[in-house]
Amino acid sequence: GAGVSQSPSNKVTEKGKDVELRCDPISGHTALYWYRQSLGQGLEFLIYFQGNSAPDKSGLPSDRFSAERTGGSVSTLTIQRTQQEDSAVYLCASSLDIGRAPDTQYFGPGTRLTVL
């Protein structure tokens, strides 16, 4: 497809379980971003990748969160030992070139995560 895709679209899990969220960026986009939107809140930046490298992980809420990107394409966001406060919509975005400003970020539809 032409846009950013994310899977699954919805995920319901039990507290304490691990989850993996996947993002397929637009082909050729070197930058990839993860955000989350909790209920009634704005979008919160989590992490970004330039190629396969994540230079700054300080936006991740806790050490239960990790992300990786392979081949400069697909990225996975992993949440270990999920907690109820992790419930949110997790959004992925990609852009053409992180070093060229301004650089429009294109968002996927998001994964709605519900932790029971």
| Interface with another protein, residue 43, by CB under 8 A | yes
> Is 92 within 8 Å of 23 (Cβ atoms)?
yes
Using the rule CB under 8 A, which residue among 30, 75, 82, 95 binds another protein? Answer: 95
| Interface with another protein, residue 110, by CB under 8 A | yes
d(CA 55, CA 102): 20
Q: Looking at 11-19, 64-72, 75-83, 92-100, which segment touches another protein (CB under 8 A)?
A: 92-100
Contacts of 38 (CB under 8 A, 6+ apart): 44, 87, 88
- Residue identified by tokens 């039990």 is 14
Using the rule CB under 8 A, which residue among 1, 2, 55, 70 binds another protein? Answer: 55
The dihedral built from the CA positions of residue 65, 92, 54 and 60, taken in this order, carries a sign that is negative
User: Of the candidates 26, 23, 27, 53, which has an alpha carbon nearest to the alpha carbon of residue 35?
Assistant: 23
Q: Looking at 11-19, 52-60, 62-70, 72-80, which segment touches another protein (CB under 8 A)?
A: 52-60
Nearer residue to another protein within complex by CB, 64 or 112: 112
| Interface with another protein, residue 2, by CB under 8 A | no
User: Which positions touch another protein (CB under 8 A)?
Assistant: 4, 31, 33, 35, 40-45, 48, 50, 55-56, 59, 91, 93, 95, 98, 101-110
